[in-house]
A and B are shown apart, each in its own frame.
Chain A
Amino acid sequence: MELISAKNVSVKYDARAAVRGASFSVSEGDYLCIVGENGTGKSTLLKAILGLVRYEGEISFENGLKRSDLGYLPQQTQVQKGFPASVYEVVLPGCLNRLGRRLFYSAEEKDDARESMRLLGLTDIANRSYRELSGGQQQRTLVARAVCSAKKMIFLDEPVNGLDPTVSRQMYDVIGELNAKQGMTVVMVSHDIDSAVRRSNMILHMDTEVRFFGPSAEYASKFGYKFFQNGGY
Chain B
Amino acid sequence: MHILLNIADYPFLIYAFVVGGLSALCLSLLGVPLVLKRYSMIGDGLSHVGFGAMSVALALNLAPMYVAVPVVIVAAFLLMRISGNSKINADAAIALISSSAVAIGVLCTSLTGGSNIDIYNYMFGSLLSLSRSDVWFSIAISAAVLVLFVFFYNRVFAMTFDEDFAAATGSKIGIYKSLSALLTAVTVVIGMNLMGTLLVSSLIIFPALTSMRVFRSFRGVVICSAVISLLCAAGGILASCLVAGASAGASIVVVNLLAFIIFAAFGAVSRRACGHKHRT
* A residues adjacent to B (C-beta < 8 A): 14, 47, 50-52, 66-68, 70-72, 74, 77, 79-80, 83-86, 89-90, 92-93, 96-97, 99, 103-105, 127, 129, 131-132, 145, 149, 155
Give Cα A158 to B217, complex, Å.
Answer: 26
B216 touches A84 (CB 8 A): yes
On chain B, the residues within 8 Å of A90 by CB distance are 161
On chain B, the residues within 8 Å of A86 by CB distance are 216-218
Task: Say yes or no for B38: interface residue by CB 8 A criterion.
Answer: yes
11 contacts between A and B (CB under 8 A): A14-B87, A67-B168, A67-B170, A74-B168, A84-B215, A85-B157, A85-B218, A86-B216, A99-B154, A131-B216, A149-B165
In chain A, what residue has the closest Cβ to B150? Answer: A103
B164 touches A52 (CB 8 A): yes
B169 touches A72 (CB 8 A): yes
A87 to chain B: closest CB distance in Å? 10
Give Cα A79 to B212, complex, Å.
Answer: 14
Tally chain B residues at the interface, Cβ within 8 Å.
29
On chain B, the residues within 8 Å of A84 by CB distance are 36, 212, 215-218, 220-221
Give Cα A114 to B217, complex, Å.
Answer: 17
In chain B, what residue has the closest Cβ to A104? Answer: B154
On chain A, the residues within 8 Å of B170 by CB distance are 66-68, 70, 97
Q: Of residues 181 to 219 in B, which have CB atoms within 8 Å of A's CB atoms? A: 212, 215-219
On chain A, the residues within 8 Å of B217 by CB distance are 84-86, 89, 127, 129
Closest A-B pairs by Cβ, 4 of them: A129-B216, A67-B170, A93-B158, A68-B170
A67 touches B38 (CB 8 A): no
In chain A, what residue has the closest Cβ to B222? Answer: A84
Contact residue among A14, A66, A72, A92 (Cβ-Cβ distance under 8 Å from B165): A72
On chain A, the residues within 8 Å of B154 by CB distance are 92-93, 96, 99, 103-105
In chain B, what residue has the closest Cβ to A14? Answer: B87
**Residue with the highest number of chain B CB atoms closer than 10 Å, among A66, A80, A96, A149:** A96
Task: Say yes or no for B37: interface residue by CB 8 A criterion.
Answer: yes
A84-B212, A84-B221, A85-B218 as given contacts; A79 in contact with B165, CB under 8 Å: no
On chain A, the residues within 8 Å of B37 by CB distance are 79
On chain B, the residues within 8 Å of A105 by CB distance are 154
**Residue with the highest number of chain A CB atoms closer than 10 Å, among B164, B169, B170:** B169
On chain B, the residues within 8 Å of A71 by CB distance are 169
A85-B157, A104-B154, A105-B154 as given contacts; A155 in contact with B168, CB under 8 Å: yes
Contact residue among A51, A89, A127, A131 (Cβ-Cβ distance under 8 Å from B168): A51
On chain B, the residues within 8 Å of A68 by CB distance are 169-170
On chain B, the residues within 8 Å of A50 by CB distance are 164, 167-168
B167 touches A52 (CB 8 A): yes
In chain A, what residue has the closest Cβ to B86? Answer: A13
18 further interface pairs, Cβ-Cβ under 8 Å (given A86-B216, A96-B155, A104-B154): A47-B164, A50-B164, A50-B167, A51-B167, A52-B164, A52-B168, A67-B170, A71-B169, A72-B169, A79-B37, A79-B38, A84-B212, A84-B220, A84-B221, A85-B157, A86-B218, A99-B155, A149-B165
Q: Of residues 160 to 176 in B, which have CB atoms within 8 Å of A's CB atoms? A: 161-162, 164-171
B31 to chain A: closest CB distance in Å? 14
Give Cα A210 to B154, complex, Å.
Answer: 39
B208 to chain A: closest CB distance in Å? 9
In chain A, what residue has the closest Cβ to B171? Answer: A96
Task: Say yes or no for B152: interface residue by CB 8 A criterion.
Answer: yes
Q: Of residues 217 to 253 in B, which have CB atoms within 8 Å of A's CB atoms? A: 217-221
B91 to chain A: closest CB distance in Å? 15
Give Cα A51 to B155, complex, Å.
Answer: 19
Contact residue among A83, A96, A97, A103 (Cβ-Cβ distance under 8 Å from B151): A103
**Residue with the highest number of chain B CB atoms closer than 10 Å, among A51, A79, A93:** A93
Give Cα A72 to B87, complex, Å.
Answer: 25
A52-B168, A71-B169, A104-B154 as given contacts; A132 in contact with B162, CB under 8 Å: no
Contact residue among B38, B87, B164, B169 (Cβ-Cβ distance under 8 Å from A70): B169
On chain A, the residues within 8 Å of B169 by CB distance are 67-68, 70-72, 96-97, 149
B187 to chain A: closest CB distance in Å? 21
